[in-house]
Amino acid sequence: MALKLGRRALLRGIGGVAIALPALEIMFDGKGAHAGPPGAIPKRYIVCFNGQSLGGDDDPLINDYVPNTVGANYDLKSALAPLAAVQGDVSVVSGLKIPTAFDNGGAIPAGGRSDDFHINSLSPLFSGMRSDPAQTVMGATSDQLVADAIAGSTTFKSLVFRVQAAWYLSVSAPYGRDIISYKSAGAGKKPTPIPATVSPKQAFDSLFSSFVPPDNTGAQKAAELELRQRKSVLDLLDKRTGRLLTRLGAADRLRLQAHLDEIRDLERRIGAIPPVASATCLKPGDPGADPALGGNQGSTFDQNLGYSGEDQRAKVFCDLIHMAIVCDLTRVASLQLTMAQSHLNMFGATGQASDLHEIGHHGLPGKDVTLQMSKAIAWHMKHFAYLIGKLKGTAEGAGNLLDNTVAVMLHEGGHGFDPASGKQWSSHSTENMACLIAGRAGGLKPGKHVVATGKHPANVLVSAMNAAGLATSALGEVNGNVPELFT
């Protein structure tokens, strides 16, 4: 149950000293988070990821995703059926492709990947940079580039959340399939991965623990005390860690400096001015304990049914992203619904006792494998549509929050030729890719199907970055946007 908060004119400052900031009042009129002049309304950027391709092996039905009709009022195929309520706010971009080494005479092309599919599509997909033999993402990702530009003084420069709670395949590890956000580490250096927050409960606590009930001076005092205590503890940690660093060898110093940097970022976050409650900025209900990892009912991870209540986790993360944006705690979020080459058990969504990766590999005509894949995609779309609907349903300025938001849904692959196996209809393909782009930020005109034959998914991300106010003509090595999305 949401707790409605009164507006707070007093904002906490450094050391818990209350500071009056009446100037901010003009920005909030009680109707929405940002009701000031249009120029004052920030833009928001969301990127979501689905770790699967659009079609199944050997199925000549390349997907049940891309509409037959082009332009507005496109037909909704089974993979996109959950979008019905928000279709007018969501564009489908089809005809996309990430080029391969095979396409380029054996050398990985700019913005392209090596011929082996898994993990190698991630670098071009998220950063526009070609994959490398070490199979890491080679450039900063769009969400982090946008955050650098538009985060402003928000408490959370970006939110990085993942729904799939564990890797699940006991004989291996994700090796990067679990990370979709990377920030720049400086020119000429590999970007720094940002492992996601996986616990919805932790995300809730981090975002909203500073909220206190309205007009409750007791709670206000308790919150103020708690803040001072946290600061004292973090200050002590900061000093102690700094002192320890001087005693360490070079490698450990580097390792623990990264830890100290994060301690300092937490200090900054808790020292930030807390959100101002309004008619729309409300404290969400506490999600409670996270669903058990692996379906385990005991105390250790000794059971692994490949599922940890991801359906519920996804809903909570969408709720948190929505409210964090409403309260201007953040303007940028990445939400990884499933890992690349995902071993999430999809039984609940598809009725097939199979993990997401296996679904695509049940091969051969007559098995309707692409339709099974579409059921799995639709599970992702259900949550994407829920988030879009919540943004749309939140008043802001003269319109709604979605008017100032751009949200993209990316998929790991498409369906078509796989240069590694030579198969014509393979799920291990980055041909015939498609993605979604929703919202009206920056003059986007959503609600249509755009066939962008030969374009790269990163071209759609450039459009989204442009819509969020980042005047760039490229993402990594991929140049240009998709102009039709703005007309």
Partner 1 sequence: MRHRWREPLAAVVLAAMVGCSSDGDLLPPRDPNAKPNDAAHAQTAVVSGARRLTRTEYDDTVRDLLGDATNSGFATLPEDVNDPFDNNYMTQLVSPALINAAETLATNAAKRALADPAIHVKIVPCQPTGPADTDCLRKFIATFGRRALRRPLEASEIDEYAALGSFAVEGNAFDVGVELVIRAMLQDVEFLYRVEVGTEVAGVPGVFKLNHFEVATRLSYFLLGTTPDDALLDVAAAQKLGSPGDIRAAAVTIMANPRARERVNRFHALWLSFHQLPHPPDLTAALRAESAALINRVVFDKPSSYLDLFTSSDTYANDFLADHYGLPKPGSTTGAWVAYGNTGRKGILSHGAVLSAGAKFADTSPTQRGKFVQNRLLCREIPAPPPTTKSDNPPSDAPGNCKIDKYKAHATDGACKGCHSQMDPIGFGLENYDKAGVFRATETGKPECPIDGAGDLLGVGPFNGPAGLADKLLASGELEACVVTQLYRFATGRREATEDTPVIQGLATKFVQNDHGFAPLLLEVVADNGFGFRRAQ
Residue 66 vs 333, nearer CB to partner 1: 333
Beta strands in 177-281, from DSSP E residues, in sequence order: 182-183, 192-193
Q: Tell the smallest beta-carbon distance from residue 183 to partner 1 (Å).
A: 11
Widest CA span in the chain: 70
Q: Is 195 in the site for partner 1 (CB under 8 A)?
A: yes
Task: Tell me the C-alpha distance between 243 and 74, whole Å.
Answer: 62
Dihedrals phi, psi of 204, to nearest 5 degrees:
-60, -50
Q: Kind of pairing, strands 18-20 and 192-193? A: unpaired
**Of 73, 421, 424, 473, the one binding partner 1 by CB under 8 A:** 421
60 DSSP assignment: S
Residue 20, classed as helix, strand or coil, is strand
Of the pair 118, 315, the CB lying nearest partner 1 is at: 118
Residue 234 buriedness (CB in 10 A; 0-12 / 13-18 / 19+): middle
Contact 120/137 with Cβ under 8 angstroms? no
| Torsion, Cα of 370, 334, 452, 101 (10° steps) | -80
Residue of the chain from 69, 172, 424, 473 that contacts partner 1 (CB under 8 A):
172
Would you count residue 199 as binding partner 1 (CB under 8 A)? Answer: yes
- The answer for residues whose C-beta is within 8 angstroms of residue 396's C-beta and 6 or more apart is 32, 33, 34, 35, 41, 280, 403, 404
Q: Kindly write out the interface string for residues 54-93 of this chain, putting x where it contacts partner 1 by CB under 8 A and - elsewhere.
A: ---xx-----------------------------------
| 87: helix, strand or coil | helix
The sign one gets for the Cα dihedral 28, 31, 32, 38 is negative
Distance CA 214, CA 161 (A): 29
Nearer to partner 1 by Cβ, of 184 and 241: the residue is: 241
Q: How far is the CB of 385 from partner 1 (least distance, A)?
A: 26
Contact call for residue 263 and partner 1 (CB under 8 A):
yes
Q: What is the x/- site pattern for partner 1, positions 174-193, by CB under 8 A?
A: xx--x--------------x
Considering only residues 8, 31, 190, 201, which one is a binding residue for partner 1 as defined by CB under 8 A?
A: 201
Q: Which is nearer to partner 1, 109 or 214 (CB)?
A: 109
Q: How many residues bind partner 1 (CB under 8 A)?
A: 97
Q: What's the min distance (Å) between Cβ of 2 and partner 1?
A: 22
Q: Which is nearer to partner 1, 20 or 107 (CB)?
A: 107
Q: Can you tell me the distance from the alpha carbon of 368 to that of 374, in angstroms, rounded to the nearest whole number?
A: 10
Q: How near is the Cβ of 328 to partner 1 at its closest, in Å?
A: 18
User: Which of 283/362 has CB closer to partner 1?
Assistant: 362
Residue 294 lies near partner 1 (rule: CB under 8 A): yes
Strand partners, 411: 50
The number of angstroms, rounded, from the C-alpha of 316 to the middle of its chain's C-alpha atoms is 14
Q: Which is nearer to partner 1, 67 or 294 (CB)?
A: 294
The residue type of 193 is: P
Within positions 348 to 377, which residues make up the interface with partner 1, using CB under 8 A?
353-355, 358, 361-364, 366-367
Beta bridge partners of 240: none
431 touches partner 1 by CB under 8 A: no
Q: Which residue of 130, 283, 383, 428 would you call a contact of partner 1, by CB under 8 A?
A: 428
Of 193 and 274, nearer to partner 1 (C-beta) is 193
* Least CB distance to partner 1 at residue 25 (A): 31
User: How many CB atoms neighbour CB 240 within 10 A?
Assistant: 12
Q: Interface mask (CB under 8 A) for partner 1, residues 18-57, using x and -?
A: ---------------------------------------x
Residue with tokens 């319109």: 399
Task: Print the binding letters for residues 229-248 with partner 1: x by CB under 8 A, - otherwise.
Answer: xx-xxx-xx-xxx-xx-xxx
Q: Would you count residue 224 as binding partner 1 (CB under 8 A)?
A: no
**Distance of alpha carbon 353 from its chain centroid, rounded?**
27
425 lies in the site for partner 1, by CB under 8 A = no
d(CA 131, CA 190): 12
> Which residues neighbour 195 within 8 Å (Cβ) at sequence distance 6 or greater?
160, 178, 179
Q: How far, in Å, CA of 440 to CA of 86, rounded? A: 13
Least distance between partner 1 and beta carbon 184 (Å): 16
Report the site for partner 1 in 304-343 (rule: CB under 8 A).
304-306, 341
Determine, following the binding rule CB under 8 A, whether residue 211 of this chain makes contact with partner 1. no
d(CA 426, CA 55): 8
Q: What minimum distance in Å lies between the beta carbon of 458 and partner 1? A: 22
Residue 106 is classified by DSSP as T
User: Judged by CB under 8 A, which of 64, 89, 103, 290 binds partner 1?
Assistant: 290
**Looking only at residues 372 through 411 of this chain, which bind partner 1 when binding is defined by CB under 8 A?**
none
Q: Which is nearer to partner 1, 67 or 413 (CB)?
A: 413
Nearer to partner 1, 7 or 255 (CB): 255
Residues numbered 88-127 forming contacts with partner 1, rule: CB under 8 A = 101-102, 106, 114-118
The token pair at 474 is 């490229």
